[in-house]
Chains A and B, each alone.
Chain A
């Protein structure tokens, strides 16, 4: 287990270093002179020089990379060009909103996906199955920047049940969470259906039925529990899509989270903030995935032992 843990952590650290390098180089992809793009053509030369120096863009590339990592290790992302605030403070201010939205989206996804996937598997080939899978197909095909406005049109403007945008109280969380969670619910319910179908064909299910266990218990105790493992991994992986989708969902509902900050920083050409946002969201995702892998290896010895023998 220790070896498995260490190998997971080592690869996570490697990925994080790679991600940081990529994010560092983002600013060098700005067409032309990044300082001119950020400050605009009318900025005076002294301001430009000051910014160039404070971003370290006058240094050799390797020195820049080195000081970038040095800053990262001290959780220092520099200052926003737009509001002059320390970027760390801006991130800390926005994190709770995004975490709240992501968790709520995840909750919606799980609450929809489990019953839907289970029903589809149990009633395979019936109308129930086709209905559930039809929903799932629509769920992955409906973009959240369209679903959001339609929900607003129906439930906020039409019925007046929820606020149109912003983050005030629980009622403002409902529509963003549904918008964000639907696609994941669609993918999850398919996965649950597929794994459950596989598990229900196993011998131990027949044994459980043969010994007279009530069908409900067979499904829950022997079926769903064994189908859970691959589903948990998928949830970990899908959290990435969820975090990415949160960027757009936050824009639709003016939800004051990291995603909104990301897009605002692009439109303000506040590239240090953009870098910090992208870095932070990606790091969070890497951490979540590493944790999922570790928990998975702990729950299922076959995984960690298989990987160790493979290495």
Chain B
């Protein structure tokens, strides 16, 4: 039951994000007589401080979060896996060097480095993607490095080395396929993390800029009118939480299903 619920929510999120631009929405249409108006038929989530329909803006925010999550997780996955696998397989000073870089990036607590980067680079969706990817690839690099370290002495890899197979072919054919399960699990949790981080940056005013919508900036704008129009805060937050919850549930399920031991 819970499974279908969470899958349903994620599918809905993706569908709305992908087809949102085809729907008859008016996220930037200002109705002055509807400023801060509560939910009503036709505008199920009410209006915001500029008289724009909250539901339409929520769907626009879904596009933002989906786009950022897709980009950041794909970039991080590809770069992180490549670096981590290469580092572990090559060993020696290359590995030492890369481990140091990973350690340094992990020394910035949580979202702090992304905040600083986004703050320096300036607002905008591109910079959010860059900032979150710079922070994001490290987790994948560490994971794939640890996995490959334990795999590279396996017999099938040794056999391939003995047969004279090239390094990159060994990595591609004999190592990467064996670490996909943990990478899938990591990616799922990374999606949840990126959705929260993107909204967090936007909440701080470092994400997408108006009139573009992000759930984070919607929450920030809403807190100013919390007393008169609580729907402005409650709606985007609930949606954000439902999606992150669903993605985390999927991650748990994927972990159980693929039987990856938690690290």
Contacts and interface: CB of A to CB of B under 8 A. Distances in A.
Interface of A: 11, 14-16, 18-19, 22-23, 26-27, 29-31, 137-138, 140-143, 145-146, 149-150, 152-153, 157, 194, 239-245, 247-248, 251-252, 262-263, 266-267, 271, 274, 278, 281-282, 285-286, 289
Interface in B101-154: 101, 103-105, 107-113, 115-117, 119-122
Contact of B248 (A11, A141, A239): A141
Q: A14, A31, A266, A289 — which one has the most chain B CB atoms within 10 A of its CB?
A: A266
Interface in B2-32: none
A289 B108 CA distance: 12
B241 A31 contact: no
Contact of A153 (B105, B111, B205, B233): B233
A12 B121 CA distance: 28
B200 interface: yes
B245 interface: yes
A31 B109 contact: no
The interface size bin for chain B is 35 or more
Contact of A266 (B100, B206, B222, B237): B206
Q: Which 9 A-B pairs have the closest CB atoms?
A: A244-B110, A266-B119, A146-B237, A240-B109, A18-B104, A141-B245, A243-B109, A141-B244, A145-B203
A220 to B, nearest CB: 25
B219 to A, nearest CB: 6
Nearest to B99: A11
Contact of B241 (A11, A30, A142, A157): A142
A244 B197 CA distance: 11
Interface string B222-263: 110011001001101100110011001100100000000010
Given A19-B108, A274-B119, A251 B204 contact: yes
A246 to B, nearest CB: 9
Given A30-B120, A244-B110, A19 B104 contact: yes
B220 interface: yes
Nearest to A289: B107
Given A157-B227, A282-B112, A146 B103 contact: no
Contact of A145 (B216, B226, B230, B248): B216
A274 B109 CA distance: 15
B204 A26 contact: no
Contacts of B252: 137
Given A14-B100, A153-B233, A285-B109, A263 B122 contact: no
B192 A141 contact: yes
Given A29-B121, A141-B192, A143-B196, A157 B108 contact: no
A200 B105 CA distance: 37
B104 A143 contact: no
Given A19-B104, A285-B109, A248 B204 contact: yes
Contact of A137 (B104, B249, B262): B249
Interface string B149-188: 0000000000000000000000000000000000000000
